[in-house]
Amino acid sequence: MRIIGHLENESEARTFADYLYVQRIENQLEFQKDEGWAIWIRDEDKLASATQLLAVFRENPKDPRYQNEGRSAPQLRAEEEKNQEAYRKKLRNRRHLFRPLRGYGFGPLTFVLIAACVLVFLLSHFAMDFQPIHGLFISEYPRSQSLHSMLPEVRHGQIWRLFTPVLIHMTFAHILFNMLWLRDLGSMIEGRQGTGQLAALVLVVAVVSNFAQYFMSGPAFGGMSGVVYGLLGYIWIRGKLDPGSGLFLHPSTVIMMLAWFVLCYTPLLTSVVGQVANSAHAAGLIVGMAWGFLSSLPHR
């Protein structure tokens, strides 16, 4: 901003400022004790034309055209403010789309889970050799048709297998996107409700979603996406029914994730990325939403 000159009379200064604004020259008035009303121009590219207009104005400040044209300045300013507010709202909405992590920090359990997934991915040689991590799959045998003979390793004490499939990822894109969502959603819950709450959610959702996927398609699966959908469902419903919980998801985030949920069932996606653990997604989402609903009841 630069000053193009001064006018002693306040009324004339305001009339000229309005006139400039109508000419699409943004300006600002400032009273200076010794010299009167300073006229500041925001855009330096318009300094020359503004200076020339000021010189013409000084010759005949009572010219009716200044008053006539300046009358539309308030309306133009109101329209400009409305446009600016719409832009700011749009910008806020875009920022909120991936808002969860901001302001919550990086929770310790969230970090440990991400580190564990990355370590398992490295041990599997970037999902090229699963032999070093075979003990993390829910089972090493095809699914039995009989409930009593399912999960033989678990029935013989290897309880961890109900949870550990969430640590296994099949591609670089698979682990990348799951870890980004886990970072955001996990850190929000951990930051607002504590590590214990996140641990309980992850454990229960992991076990239920893993078993659902195993029951529907057998043991050859892995990934954190069932847990991610569980955390999404929990935050979505709990935040909606209990705003005091501090949990929040922008509607665009929910729509995007639900759209992806549906897309995963279509041949279009499976033909590109291969088998998708849709049963784990569905079970995780249902458990998370139910948990969010039930935990909100005492606060309604």
Query: Distances in Å between the alpha carbon of 92 and those of 176, 185, 228, 236?
Result: 26, 19, 24, 19
* Single pTM value for the model: 0.66
In angstroms, the CA 288 to CA 156 distance is: 29
The pLDDT tens digits for 246-271 are 898 988 999 999 999 998 888 876 65
Average predicted confidence (pLDDT) for the chain: 89
Q: How far apart are CA 209 and CA 212, in angstroms?
A: 5
Query: DSSP states of 260-274 as a string?
Result: HHHHTTSHHHHHHH-
Q: Which one-letter amino acid corresponds to residue 234?
A: Y
Question: Which residues are known to be catalytic?
Answer: 225, 281
DSSP 137: S
Q: What is the 3-state secondary structure (H, E, C) of 78-105?
A: HHHHHHHHHHHHHHHHHHHHCCCCCCCC
The label of the residue with tokens 């604004």 reads: 21
Residues in contact with 201: Cβ distance below 8 Å, sequence separation at least 6, in sequence order? 189, 230, 231, 234, 288, 291
Alpha-carbon distance 277 to 110, whole Å?
Answer: 22
Contact 236, 256 (CB under 8 A): no
Residue-wise pLDDT for 150-163, tens only, equals: 999 999 999 999 99
Q: pLDDT tier at 74 (50, 70, 90 boundaries)?
A: confident
Structural domains for the chain: 2-97 (3.30.70.2350), 108-299 (1.20.1540.10)
The pLDDT score that the predictor gives to residue 94 is: 52
Three-class SS state of 241: helix
- What mean pLDDT do residues 196-213 have? 97
Lowest-confidence pick of 7-16, 67-76, 94-103: 94-103
Q: What is the pLDDT of residue 92?
A: 58
If you count them, how many residues does the chain have?
300
User: So what's the pLDDT on residue 100?
Assistant: 44
End-to-end CA distance of the chain: 53
Tens of pLDDT, residue by residue over 130-152, are 999 999 999 999 988 887 889 99
